[in-house]
Amino acid sequence: GENVEQHPSTLSVQEGDSAVIKCTYPDSASNYFPWYKQELGKRPQLIIDIRSNVGEKKDQRIAVTLNKTAKHFSLHITETQPEDSAVYFCAASINRGFYFGSGTKLNVKP
């Protein structure tokens, strides 16, 4: 199938703490893994992506790691801020299509 599994579905952290969201994908041929942030009622916005030839990518407080052998990838947000509160979606290219995880609702408490 084309299921991208994403966990947890909700995540609550204190401001300044780190947050980690994990996704697994079924197809070892998948080669592109983006993460999107979606605020309520708005469009998904690309925040970081990684390709299968790279194990880790970092952009300021956000990083993504990829384990091709285990077919999973993770989003790491450090020093979380209240404005990081949103729904985060992972995605993977599978069989010429593009499939999203079910989303993680992140709540950063001030």
Partner 1 sequence: DSGVTQTPKHLITATGQRVTLRCSPRSGDLSVYWYQQSLDQGLQFLIQYYNGEERAKGNILERFSAQQFPDLHSELNLSSLELGDSALYFCASSVGGYSNQPQHFGDGTRLSIL
Shortest gap between Cβ of 109 and partner 1 (angstroms)?
21
Q: Give me the least distance between CB of 103 and partner 1, in Å please.
A: 5
Judged by CB, which is closer to partner 1: 102, or 107? 102
* Cβ proximity to partner 1, 51 vs 61, nearer residue: 51
Q: Which is nearer to partner 1, 78 or 102 (CB)?
A: 102
Helix (H, G, I), strand (E, B) or coil at 39: coil
Q: DSSP 3-state assignment of 60?
A: coil
Interaction site with partner 1 (CB under 8 A):
2, 31-32, 34, 36, 42-46, 49, 51, 89, 91, 93-103
- Closest approach of Cβ 4 to partner 1, in Å? 9
Burial letters for 7-39: b for 16+ Cβ neighbours within 10 Å, e otherwise?
Answer: eeeebebeeeeebbbbbbbeeeebeebbbbbee
Residue 1 C-beta: closest distance to partner 1, Å: 11
Torsion of CA 83, 104, 36, 92, to 10 degrees: 160
